[in-house]
């Protein structure tokens, strides 16, 4: 199952970039034997600063056709890491070929795109900067693959 992160904003060089690349690489290596991956990251930018609707249109263009759409939203499901791993495993086992995680911009995800989502995931009731949310998602994807592989990376 291919995994995509479709996000508003360009990642610049720095600690977030390094962590995202590290966890993405770890996910690819661990997930390969589990039928997970590769992980691709697509970035969009509303250069005209029109707003959420413009961002949604840009995001819709980079989400793979037919992908299960999972948005990151503060109103979404709050899950444990094992529950998230089980969700990924379930999608894979059901024959899902692509899953796309969408991270909106500063104002969130446009309601029109939110309405299309198959799943909404939250990293808690706090709002996180989109670059940190991207880094946290990459780490959780790696952790999920590690859990599914039976690795000792995740400890309860």
CA angle 6, 99, 29 (to 5 degrees): 90
- Per-residue tokens: 141: 């994807």
| Within-domain flag for 156 | no
Range of the domain at 78: 6-149
Residue 106 confidence (pLDDT) above 90: no
Q: What pLDDT does residue 136 have?
A: 97
Q: What pLDDT does residue 156 have?
A: 61
Instruction: Report the predicted TM-score, pTM, of the whole model to 2 decimal places.
Output: 0.95
| Within-domain flag for 1 | no
pLDDT digits (tens, 9 = 90+) for 25-50: 999 999 999 999 999 999 998 777 77
| Within-domain flag for 155 | no
| Within-domain flag for 154 | no
Side-chain-side CA neighbours of residue 131 (13 Å): 12
Cα separation, 84 vs 123, whole angstroms: 11
Residue 96 confidence (pLDDT) above 80: yes
| Within-domain flag for 71 | yes
CATH number, domain with residue 121 = 3.40.1280.10
Q: Provide the domain count of the chain.
A: 1
């Amino acid at each position: 199952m291919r995994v995509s992160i479709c996000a508003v904003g360009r990642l610049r060089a720095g600690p977030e970039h390094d962590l995202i690349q590290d966890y993405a690489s770890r996910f690819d290596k661990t997930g390969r034997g589990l039928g997970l991956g590769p992980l691709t990251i697509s970035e969009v930018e509303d250069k005209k600063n029109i707003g959420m609707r413009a961002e949604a249109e840009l995001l819709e263009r980079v989400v793979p056709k037919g992908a299960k759409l999972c948005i990151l939203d503060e109103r979404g499901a709050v899950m444990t890491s094992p529950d998230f791993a089980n969700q990924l495993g379930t999608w894979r086992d059901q024959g899902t070929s692509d899953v796309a995680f969408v991270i909106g911009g500063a104002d969130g995800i446009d309601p029109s795109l939110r309405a299309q989502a198959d799943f909404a995931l939250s990293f808690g009731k706090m709002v996180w900067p989109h670059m940190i949310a991207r880094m946290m998602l990459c780490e959780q994807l790696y952790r999920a693959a590690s859990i599914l592989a039976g690795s000792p990376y995740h400890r309860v």
